[in-house]
Structure 1
Amino acid sequence: MSKLLEVVFENAHEPMIVTDKDGKILLLNRSYREFLNVQDVIGQPVTDVIENTRMHIVGQAGVAEIADIQQIKGQNMIAHRIPIMDEGKVIAVLGTVLFQDVQELTALAAMVAQLKDELTYYKKELRRRMGATYHFDQIVGYSQKLQELKKFSQKVAKSDSTVLITGESGTGKELFAHAIHAESKRKMGPFIRVNCAAIPDSLLESELFGYEEGAFTGAVRRGKKGKFELANHGTILLDEIGDMPLPLQAKLLRVLQEKEVERVGAVRTTPIDVRVIASTNSDMLQSIKEGKFRADLYYRLNVVSLSIPPLRERLEDLPELVSNLLKQLGESTGVAVRAIDEEVWHVLRGYSWPGNVRELKNVLERALHLMEDDILKKEHIWLPVSDEGTPSSLSVSTHAVRPLKQILEEAEQEALRQAMQQAGGNKLNAAKLLQISKSSFYEKWEKYQ
């Protein structure tokens, strides 16, 4: 063991020295000898070998000196001097040099500061990506309905109560969910959104609750966390909850009651601490009557209910909405609007807006691409034909041949809109009307939003 200690001491990277209590050198390792440019100094007084040393002083006082600055050969070094005690008496002093030049310490401190800045940035970025994107001040409108809803939602946000948000497609249900999380005590935790209708039924259980290794063919090794586990200490938004398959509704009810999840293929449960916000554009009570949704799950979700008014019921918010949307679109398209003709407001107020604020944004974005100057005019506003077959507003008047792709996309978008209108905003029924799969409908619907 003594041979090992001797080898370790001799080959240590840091300069090291051991003296007796009177300051005579007992050991001096190679690193220190090379720095001092000395060889055989064992037995010599340390004051004759190392300038400005305090090893002998520490040997007499028996008090350690930590991170002390010592100048040797014109360089400021950082050194430790530690008395070695035996039965309360000093028998030796150990000296080590941490930095042979204070500039090394300065460089290290700068590197640590940079790493701390990077860590802070990545924490913020992670929080931004997993956290809420929208806040209450980004939900614009001065109508009484919206103001009362925002005030109530801000109050609800302070609690941990489960929230059910209802409203037509495009009214901003997800915005309210984001804002509630951002205003809650869980705002530093993750915000996880799951579209229950967009994920195929066969995959939804493993997406929500996760799975263990070998749970099924193609399962990832070591398993995978589900959305509920990812949302731990945060909030999960179950969007389009009305389209969740009945077998999964029973498992979700158990999660809400027991506050624990069971992965697919697992033999034990995992406790979770998650706030649940659910949203839907379906008539939930009608779905319960038709046997499509469990009544016990509905009442478990419907602790606090928020109903988002459609745009047609708050047309007084149009000026602020249009101003806000044009500002957003200007940043993404590079097209600025200096003025809006009065006739534009007449057209916008005369339309029923079945697609609500989302449709308004699409109409404005299309209008920006039709503008030839910086004034938004009536002829730039393209709105679909109403159910009665009459234009709900002036369409773009042009005889120029347009690209086939553009014509097909507009036709597809109009078909989706009409299906949604006929289905009363229920995406599942709209998909059935168009005779396409649920996932195909959601893919196309998201494409045009």
Structure 2
Amino acid sequence: MISEQFFNHQLLDIVFESANYGTVIVDRNGKIQYMSNQYCEFLEVNREDVIGEYVANLIENTRMHLVVQTGQSEMADLQFLRGSFVIANRIPIIENKEIIGAIGTILFRDLHDWKEMNNNIKELLARNNLYHPEDEPTSGINYTIHDLKGNSNAIIELKERIKRVAEGDISILVRGESGTGKEIIAQSIHQLSSRSQKPFVSVNCGAIPEPLIESELFGYEEGAFTGAKKGGKIGKFQLADGGTLFLDEIGDMPQRMQVKMLRVLQEGEVEPVGSLQSQKVDVRIVAATNRPLERMIENREFREDLFYRINAVQLMVPPLRDRTEDIPILVQHFLEKITSRIGKRVQCVQEDVLALFQRYNWPGNIRELENILNASVHLSSDSLIEMTDLPDYLTKETRGIQKKTLKEIVEETEKKAIERALKNCQYDRNKAAMMLGIGNSTIYEKIKKYQLIE
């Protein structure tokens, strides 16, 4: 047995609370003898309640009970804990060649730094295909922030903003045109949050008939109405308990439901249809819309109080026509995705096709681009997509533009790219050149050639 003097909590607190660790000490039986206040705060437990508890019952994915058996140290191990990653060290305590316990630490400077580190770990794993959300059947997500493709300033800034807001529990409103990838953003927020091991539930508020939306969101009791299932049905809020509820197209929510939605968000409880009792729910709300909610508020079509409840943080998703420099990256991504699915070898698009893509207005945004490439891959008889492989509506719509020579098309595209870079860099020529990956002398020549700055 380890002596009681060794577990003088006051002495251990002096040592460990001044360090940037969460610390736990177990005896040879794997029972907790000490836990630092920082670790208790992280786990949301009281220290007096955990002393004497078997460590594996309290700390998920721990290996402390194994370290006291093997006597082998485990350093810098990646441990999934409370929906997030931590860096864990586990060291056996040996006295007179006998294992008498083990000390474990998780590394974080403070809770904010830990969350930021965890987001970076998740993003790194996703980028290297080591994190697969679809392998987690309870999560309900298929995308990570790595699926938000693009190197434009707008996308880089959006990704950084997503990572900053994901760690909190604040409501988020994602705004952007249809087809810009709002659900990818919502799933990325969930995946980077401490709720990532809980469900992500998506509801399209515009796709549910008005008479059914209340029962879909809040569930119903048996016999609540004609046709109700035996035993009743739980609603989307209950399904998302502990996780994230994504309310897509919230601008299409009927006004009658807006009142009830506001109450749920304020009180944190739902009342199933036909029930006399409310049920507590803990959900994070991420809403999305492509509609002008401010104008709808003026026209009394959307409740102002609900708007402010869901609009704590707003994320704006740029339309594809405003970030055409990302089109080559998106094209390559979708080609790889489509060809791997159907087994057809189509590796790239012709230059004139890419130039047409960068001039097209893209009313359907990224969704339209993916659909066009999907059709073109099926129509293509070669390893690259040509103009003749594109859908008819696209070539008809741009037929007048096709009278230009390839040189004119390239120059027009180049001019637009430089204009956009200058605008994004507040017309700092050197920064714009760096962003475009060209030399300072080159951008000065192009500016003069295209007469971009007076």
TM-score of Structure 1 vs Structure 2, range by shorter chain? 0.5 to 0.7
Cα distance in 1 for partners of 2:173, 2:226 equals 35
Answering whether residue 330 of structure 2 is matched by residue 321 of structure 1, we say yes
Could you say what secondary structure the match of 2:261 adopts?
helix
The alpha-carbon distance between structure 1 residues 264 and 171, as it changes in their structure 2 partners (threshold 3 A), is: same
Matches within 5 A, 1:137-156: 137-156=146-165
Matches within 5 A, 1:340-419: 340-382=349-391, 384=393
Answering whether residue 247 of structure 2 is matched by residue 238 of structure 1, we say yes
Alpha-carbon distance, 1:330 to partner? 0.5
Answering whether residue 288 of structure 2 is matched by residue 256 of structure 1, we say no
Which string of whole-angstrom CA distances, capped at 9 and with x for unpartnered residues, describes residues 335-356 of structure 1? 2223432111111111000000
**One-letter amino acid of the structure 1 residue matched with residue 381 of structure 2:** E
2:192 match: 183
**One-letter amino acid of the structure 2 residue matched with residue 261 of structure 1:** V
Matches within 5 A, 1:58-69: none
Matches within 5 A, 1:82-231: 127-128=136-137, 130-231=139-240
Cα distance in 1 for partners of 2:194, 2:205 equals 26
Alpha-carbon distance, 1:382 to partner? 2.4
Cα distance in 2 for partners of 1:210, 1:317 equals 42
The answer to whether the 8 A contact 1:385-1:391 is kept is no
1:297 match: 306
Alpha-carbon distance, 1:130 to partner? 4.0
Q: TM-score if structure 1 supplies the norm length?
A: 0.58
Which one is further off, 302-311 or 370-379?
370-379
Give the unaligned 5+ runs of structure 2.
1-132, 404-454
Which string of whole-angstrom CA distances, capped at 9 and with x for unpartnered residues, describes residues 138-168 of structure 1? 1110000010011001110000000000100
Cα distance in 2 for partners of 1:327, 1:386 equals 23
The answer to whether the 8 A contact 2:134-2:141 is kept is no
Give the unaligned 5+ runs of structure 1.
1-123, 395-449
Which string of whole-angstrom CA distances, capped at 9 and with x for unpartnered residues, describes residues 74-120 of structure 1? xxxxxxxxxxxxxxxxxxxxxxxxxxxxxxxxxxxxxxxxxxxxxxx
Cα distance in 2 for partners of 1:195, 1:134 equals 18
Alpha-carbon distance, 1:379 to partner? 2.0
Which string of whole-angstrom CA distances, capped at 9 and with x for unpartnered residues, describes residues 231-254 of structure 1? 000000001000000000000000
Could you say what secondary structure the match of 1:277 adopts?
strand
The alpha-carbon distance between structure 1 residues 306 and 125, as it changes in their structure 2 partners (threshold 3 A), is: closer
**One-letter amino acid of the structure 2 residue matched with residue 167 of structure 1:** G
Cα distance in 2 for partners of 1:293, 1:390 equals 42
Cα distance in 1 for partners of 2:296, 2:393 equals 30
Cα distance in 1 for partners of 2:247, 2:291 equals 13
The alpha-carbon distance between structure 1 residues 393 and 332, as it changes in their structure 2 partners (threshold 3 A), is: farther
**One-letter amino acid of the structure 1 residue matched with residue 358 of structure 2:** R
Q: Identity of counterpart residues, as a percentage?
A: 46
The answer to whether the 8 A contact 1:384-1:391 is kept is no
Alpha-carbon distance, 1:220 to partner? 1.4
Alpha-carbon distance, 1:259 to partner? 0.4
The answer to whether the 8 A contact 1:233-1:274 is kept is yes
Cα distance in 1 for partners of 2:396, 2:249 equals 26
Cα distance in 1 for partners of 2:176, 2:286 equals 14
Alpha-carbon distance, 1:286 to partner? 1.1
The alpha-carbon distance between structure 1 residues 344 and 187, as it changes in their structure 2 partners (threshold 3 A), is: same
The answer to whether the 8 A contact 1:351-1:392 is kept is no
Alpha-carbon distance, 1:393 to partner? 6.3
The alpha-carbon distance between structure 1 residues 374 and 389, as it changes in their structure 2 partners (threshold 3 A), is: closer
Could you say what secondary structure the match of 1:384 adopts?
helix
Matches within 5 A, 1:272-311: 272-311=281-320
Cα distance in 1 for partners of 2:287, 2:402 equals 35
The answer to whether the 8 A contact 1:384-1:392 is kept is no
Alpha-carbon distance, 1:366 to partner? 0.9
2:116 match: none
Which string of whole-angstrom CA distances, capped at 9 and with x for unpartnered residues, describes residues 208-227 of structure 1? 00111111011112211100
The answer to whether the 8 A contact 1:163-1:304 is kept is yes
Could you say what secondary structure the match of 1:128 adopts?
coil
The alpha-carbon distance between structure 1 residues 126 and 346, as it changes in their structure 2 partners (threshold 3 A), is: closer
Which string of whole-angstrom CA distances, capped at 9 and with x for unpartnered residues, describes residues 297-351 of structure 1? 0010000100100000000001110000001101222222234321111111110
How many pairs does the alignment contain?
Answer: 271
Which string of whole-angstrom CA distances, capped at 9 and with x for unpartnered residues, describes residues 247-289 of structure 1? 0000000010000001111111000010000001101111111
Alpha-carbon distance, 1:383 to partner? 5.6
